[in-house]
């Protein structure tokens, strides 16, 4: 996907890679134990500041709000570049970008002005949280009930695994209402909003998540943007961001291949390097095939803007599932060392399994695929 990008985008990816290598890579051994072990002091503040300086917190924001408006394709390239070093930071950026996209789509002018423009005191846009592990029609969404006046609604309920919750300035949360699905944006410190302690996840651990409890928060009705259907906005957003998710998976797979090939070239058995054994070469080839499938999915879905047909959706499912299988081979190629933290393969495997759940589970996406196929046959 990155091979065909314009020079200025390649330069941006190079800047991202240098940032990740210099400021994130040295901290990975410690930060990947978050939240069991506290993050190094100032780590997240520093990362968010640098993301703001590089313009990455405004990739999805149009020029009228002082953003770059570069779009999904560039976001996918940046996400893959980050994931080739440490996938958690790319997931953090992805959750923030989804929040921005929803505000751009259905937010009020006041919400767009508040949550999309750069905060002068911080020198970056407000960081947004969004529950991107949640199914669009899932049960862990907030509920609306009538307010004390005609122009208000009262929001209450629980939203689990909200990505960036512990770091965010604003919480972009889906709400079931009398008129359909709505989106609200609440300040993290708003009265009636309670965040859990950061939740320990299987992988992507430096992309902090928290469960959020909302208890009787009053919201002006005009600030609860109704999307026009029960799940229309969330499902459309999930489809649009399927390209960057595939790119994140591709980045994880690329890192796993790099670590596996370095090991089998160095490790000797029977008087020759492991890389000379045919079975080892076949496993590397299988990993490479799945890697290229994920990159193909990322490129195609980013160009189209969403899985528009059964073939696109099948490609997306194959990309996520294939990467999860590829990193298992990466662990196996290192033998017992593959399960040790020192070699990084076990982190690739945990991150791939965690990324497998972003934007909904694959078994439910397979049901969507089956529905598409039936509709095409009956049309």
pLDDT in tens, 1-44: 455 667 888 999 999 999 999 999 999 999 999 999 999 999 99
CATH code for 2-116? 1.10.540.10
Report the pLDDT averaged over residues 323-346: 94
Range picked from 32-46, 113-127, 296-310 for highest mean pLDDT? 32-46
| Domains of the chain by residue range | 2-116, 128-229, 241-378
CB 102 within 8 A of CB 233: yes
Residue 27's pLDDT is 96
Report the pLDDT averaged over residues 88-115: 92
The pLDDT tens digits for 190-213 are: 999 999 999 999 999 999 999 999
Beta bridge partners of 219: 153
Residue of 6 and 254 predicted with greater confidence = 254
Q: Domain 241-378 has what CATH class?
A: mainly alpha
Report the pLDDT averaged over residues 311-315: 81
Strands (E), 91-179: 128-129, 142-146, 152-163, 170-177
User: pTM above the 0.75 mark?
Assistant: yes
**Residue 304 scores a pLDDT above 70:** no
* Tally of residues, the chain: 379
Q: Which of 80, 98, 104, 86 is nearest to 34 (CA)?
A: 86
The fraction of the chain above a pLDDT of 70, given in percent, is 90
Report the pLDDT averaged over residues 157-185: 88
Per-residue pLDDT band for 293 (boundaries 50, 70, 90) equals: very high
Report the pLDDT averaged over residues 88-92: 98
Residue of 151 and 203 predicted with greater confidence = 203
Q: Which of 40, 22, 20, 21 is nearest to 30 (CA)?
A: 40
Residue 373's pLDDT is 66
Residue 168's pLDDT is 95
CATH code for 128-229? 2.40.110.10
**Residue 226 scores a pLDDT above 70:** no
Residue 1's pLDDT is 47
């Amino acid at each position: 996907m990155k091979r065909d990008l314009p020079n200025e985008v390649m330069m941006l990816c190079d800047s991202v890679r240098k940032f990740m290598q210099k400021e994130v890579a040295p901290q990975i051994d410690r930060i990947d134990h978050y939240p069991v072990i506290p993050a190094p002091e100032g780590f997240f503040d520093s990362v968010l500041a640098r993301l703001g300086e590089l313009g990455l917190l405004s990739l999805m924001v149009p020029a009228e709000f002082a953003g770059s408006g570069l779009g999904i394709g560039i976001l996918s390239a940046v996400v893959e570049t980050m994931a080739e070093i440490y996938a958690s930071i790319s997931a953090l950026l992805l959750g923030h970008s989804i929040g921005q996209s929803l505000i751009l789509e259905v937010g009020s002018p006041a919400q767009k002005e508040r949550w999309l423009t750069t905060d002068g005191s911080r020198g970056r846009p407000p960081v947004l949280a969004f529950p991107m592990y949640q199914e669009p029609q899932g049960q862990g969404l907030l509920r609306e009930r009538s307010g004390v006046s005609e122009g208000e609604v009262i929001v209450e309920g629980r939203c689990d695994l909200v990505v960036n919750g512990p770091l965010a300035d604003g919480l972009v949360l889906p709400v079931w209402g009398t008129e359909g699905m709505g989106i609200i944006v609440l300040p993290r410190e708003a009265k009636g909003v309670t965040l859990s302690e950061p939740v320990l996840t299987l992988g992507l651990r430096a992309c902090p998540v928290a469960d959020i409890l909302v208890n009787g928060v009053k919201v002006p009705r005009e600030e609860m943007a109704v999307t026009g259907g029960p799940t229309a906005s969330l499902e459309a957003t999930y489809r649009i961001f399927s390209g960057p998710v595939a790119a994140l998976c591709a980045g994880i797979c690329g890192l796993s291949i790099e670590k596996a090939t370095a090991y089998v070239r160095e490790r000797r058995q029977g008087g020759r390097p492991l890389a000379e054994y045919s079975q080892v070469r076949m496993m590397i080839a299988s990993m490479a095939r799945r890697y290229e499938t994920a990159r193909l999915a990322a490129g195609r879905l980013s160009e189209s803007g969403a899985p528009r047909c059964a073939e696109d959706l099948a490609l997306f499912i194959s990309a996520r599932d294939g990467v999860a299988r590829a990193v298992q081979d990466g662990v196996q190629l290192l033998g017992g060392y593959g399960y040790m933290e020192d070699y990084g393969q076990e982190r690739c495997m945990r991150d791939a399994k965690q990324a497998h759940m972003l934007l909904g589970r694959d078994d439910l996406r397979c049901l969507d695929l089956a529905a598409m196929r039936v509709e095409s046959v009956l049309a």
